[in-house]
Amino acid sequence: MIKRVRKAIFPVAGLGTRLLPATKSIPKEMITVVDRPLIQYAVDEAREAGVEQLIFVTGRGKAALVDYFDVAFELEATMSSKGKNLDVLAPSRASFGEIVTVRQQQPLGLGHAVWCAREIVGDEPFAVLLPDELMLGKPNCLKQMVEAYDRVGGNVVAALEVPESETHQYGVIDPGASDGRLTEIRGMVEKPAPGTAPSNIMLPGRYILQPEVMRELDRQETGAGGEIQLTDAMARLIGRQPFNAFLFDGRRHDCGSAAGFVIANLAMALEREDIAPSVRDYLQSSLSRSDGEGDRFA
């Protein structure tokens, strides 16, 4: 019997050094794409995919993430007294018990962050969503994956093709046979040295995993970059459990870097009816300037 995916882990304890100085005192996941923090997009994705319990793996300086999903009593009372509509706050209100937090005292790697949630996950399949990867699709990425998982079970991880020149930045799979959007995974490697990747299919940060991966993470072995890698723990399970890559139908924005964040903001702004016209006008006039340098005083 295939057990439902009811729980999702959001590893949010990373230092976000690529976005310094912004991330010196603000969690990366609280930086906004248009008018919502990144974490909101990931939480919406999980909720739409049927997830009931959101497990935040936090660290020092990440309290704003948890506060964000609280009831802001003073704000709501003040807005109400002024006749302002509170609907805008609805997605940021967690229901009682929906969010559980656990602390990763040191950022020892993504695998370690996931392992910190082992007692909360227990003996159930669970999803992992990296909030700095903004995944846009209809239905959303995790929902597409859950639909595939409900048919085949086992472990299902999102996958995307990237140019070969970029594979050294990611977890990359060794693909086997394909069936529609699912591809059997024969092996995985985290950040392969340039020119050694087994394919150009990378793992962009959405996973549905069986709880046995926690037993692999118990070993606390370090891998690429001296970090405890989730990819390495998953790789050790291949052959003992089914592993499929799910070729996600949609777009991905890597908001872990400044350029990715800017592009995500532009892409999302151009999809918003209320602000798209002014953003489009600005972009068009800026790009058409003959000096090609844009508006220095914007």
Minimum CB distance to ligand UTP, residue 230 (Å): 9
* CA dist 49 → 2, 28, 201 (Å): 16, 24, 24
Taking the least distance from each CB to ligand UTP, the nearer of 16 and 125 is 16
Taking the least distance from each CB to ligand UTP, the nearer of 18 and 93 is 18
Minimum CB distance to ligand UTP, residue 298 (Å): 27
| Encoded tokens for 77 | 């009372």
- Contact set with ligand UTP (CB under 6 A): 11-18, 28, 57, 104, 107-110, 112-113, 130-132, 256
Taking the least distance from each CB to ligand UTP, the nearer of 12 and 245 is 12
Taking the least distance from each CB to ligand UTP, the nearer of 23 and 140 is 23
Q: Which residue is nearest to ligand UTP (CB)?
A: 14
Minimum CB distance to ligand UTP, residue 62 (Å): 9
Minimum CB distance to ligand UTP, residue 57 (Å): 5
Minimum CB distance to ligand UTP, residue 216 (Å): 17
Taking the least distance from each CB to ligand UTP, the nearer of 129 and 182 is 129
